[in-house]
Amino acid sequence: MTKKTATLNLHGKDYDLPVLEPTIGPEVIDIRKLYGEADVFTFDPGFTSTAACESTITYIDGDKGELLYRGYPIEQLADKSSYLETCYLLLYGDLPTGNQLKDFVQRVTMHTMVHEQMHYLYRGFRRDAHPMATLVGVVGAMSAFYHDSLDINDPWQREVAAIRLIAKLPTLAAMAYKYSIGQPFVYPRNDLTYAANFLHMCFSVPAEPYKVDPVLSKAMDLIFLLHADHEQNASTSTVRLAGSSGANPFACIAAGIACLWGPAHGGANQAALEMLRQIGTVDRIPEFVARAKDKNDPFRLMGFGHRVYKNFDPRAKVMKETADNVLGLLGIENNETLRVAKELERIALEDPYFVEKKLYPNVDFYSGIILEAIGFPTSMFTPIFALSRTVGWISQWKEMIGEKNQKIGRPRQLYVGPQKRDYIDLRHR
């Protein structure tokens, strides 16, 4: 079979560019040799048309609103799987057998505690620090505590680092929360599930017994699962780029957390709930919709729109159903925020501006409502996204490090600055 090529004609000369075939999705034109052969770069700020790597982990079809983890539809995983089973799937490529899952859960569970010295590290932060600020710092500092899993060339150390990150992120996020509200840190309990243990570390206090509500831990597990990976989004690309230089895994995940914090990315869940609260009542929705459409107003409807999904975000569908169930089970279905959210969604989906631009509610639109019902303040929403996404980041990082001929990431640029010029002595300027 002859290999497909695309031809670029530049200055009267043809350049044949190989066309790569994915297992699903659009074909990819391989331009790796273009600069060497034709002395040109390609220009794609925001990477809207550029594949930066090969990956076998997650697939998104933005037009169909489809998300697959290792081939499995997110809806099936949300319905039938659990977060830790999904972590196994993302990390190792296939669903585990019963024994493999038991062994994996045991390995993660045995790593939930953090080095005791880390408690002192937290005490250096101001109490009113945003938990994301604390998390970026403490996750980066893991490389100062776990020296035996820093050698990226040793597959065993890479594996230990991955398990440590998945196991310790809930502990570190819960500690950031406890620190911010002036309560004592709560040690993990290994008799609880991953999600129940996180709720225990966030909400229990030494003065009283605390029983995790199974409805809430199920919802928590689902939120973790729905955020577990999302192919080459900004934070994952950040982790890959940081990792491409050979930086240790803890430093790379800290870089990913820093990127996730932005309101256009993971920070949108906090911003979305704050916006719903700011809108306050259903009658004020038209005012905010008008502001979102006004070119001269920087306001955007947070929790709406996505770079890839141009139909609907399948995670938002599951999240919406979960919000209904959780609030129903907690007896708070008359929540005003939920009413505003539903009405805003209805109005926006009928409005020509949102319809034409294909702006649909994304995962962050409904997750905040559930997290608030569970009892989290908005400042914890993005740390929860970060802990859920850690498995995706580390799976993508491991995939990249394991590649033969892995290269440092180094984009080129379209230089539009001054021409070469001579230095002018200070007294002549």
Q: Does 306 bind ligand CMC (CB under 6 A)?
A: yes
Q: Which of 132, 136, 150, 268 binds ligand CMC (CB under 6 A)?
A: 268
Q: Which position among 128, 364, 422, 428 bears the catalytic label?
A: 364
Q: Which residue is nearest to ligand CMC (CB)?
A: 305
How many residues does the structure list for the chain?
A: 429
Interface with ligand CMC, residue 362, by CB under 6 A: yes
11 is catalytic: no
Q: Considering only 15-23, 191-199, 264-272, 408-416, which stretch makes contact with ligand CMC by CB under 6 A?
A: 264-272
290 near ligand CMC, judged by CB under 6 A: no
| 301 binds ligand CMC, rule: CB under 6 A | yes
**Minimum gap (Å) between residue 234 Cβ and ligand CMC:** 7
Beta carbon nearer to ligand CMC, 266 or 383: 266
Asked if 187 and 168 count as a contact pair (C-beta separation under 8 A), the reply is no
From 10, 20, 205, 264, residue interacting with ligand CMC (rule: CB under 6 A): 264
Of residues 111 and 389, the one with the C-beta less far from ligand CMC:
389
How far apart (Å, rounded) are the C-alpha atoms in residues 399 and 102? Answer: 24
The tokens describing 299, both together, are 């306001």
Q: Which one, of 365, 326, 412, lies nearest residue 45 by Cα?
A: 412
- Residues 36-55 binding ligand CMC (CB under 6 A) are none
| Buried/exposed 382-402: b ≥16 CB within 10 Å, e otherwise | bbbbbbbbbbbbbbbbbbbbe
Residue 53: Cβ-neighbour burial (10 angstroms; 0-12, 13-18, 19+): middle
| Residue 270 contacts residue 380 (beta carbons within 8 Å) | no
- Count CA atoms closer than 13 A to 407's CA, side-chain side: 7
Helix (H), strand (E) at residue 202: helix 194-203
Q: Among the options 151, 306, 313, 428, which is catalytic?
A: 306
* Stretch of 68-76, 95-103, 200-208, 302-310 lying at the interface with ligand CMC (CB under 6 A): 302-310
303 binds ligand CMC (CB under 6 A): yes
The 10 Å CB-count burial string (b at 16+, else e) for 352-363 is eebeeeebbbbb
Size of the site for ligand CMC (CB under 6 A): 19
Catalytic (active site) residue 306: yes
Within 119-138, which residues bind ligand CMC (CB under 6 A)? none
Q: How many CB atoms lie within 10 A of CB 21?
A: 9
If the CB atoms of residues 64 and 127 are measured against ligand CMC, the closer one turns out to be 64
Q: Which of 115, 189, 291, 307 binds ligand CMC (CB under 6 A)?
A: 307
- Which one of 171, 233, 238, 244 is in contact with ligand CMC (CB under 6 A)? 233
Our finding on whether 364 is near ligand CMC (CB under 6 A) is yes
Active site residues: 306, 364
List residues near ligand CMC by CB under 6 A.
233, 264-266, 268, 292, 300-307, 357, 359, 362-364
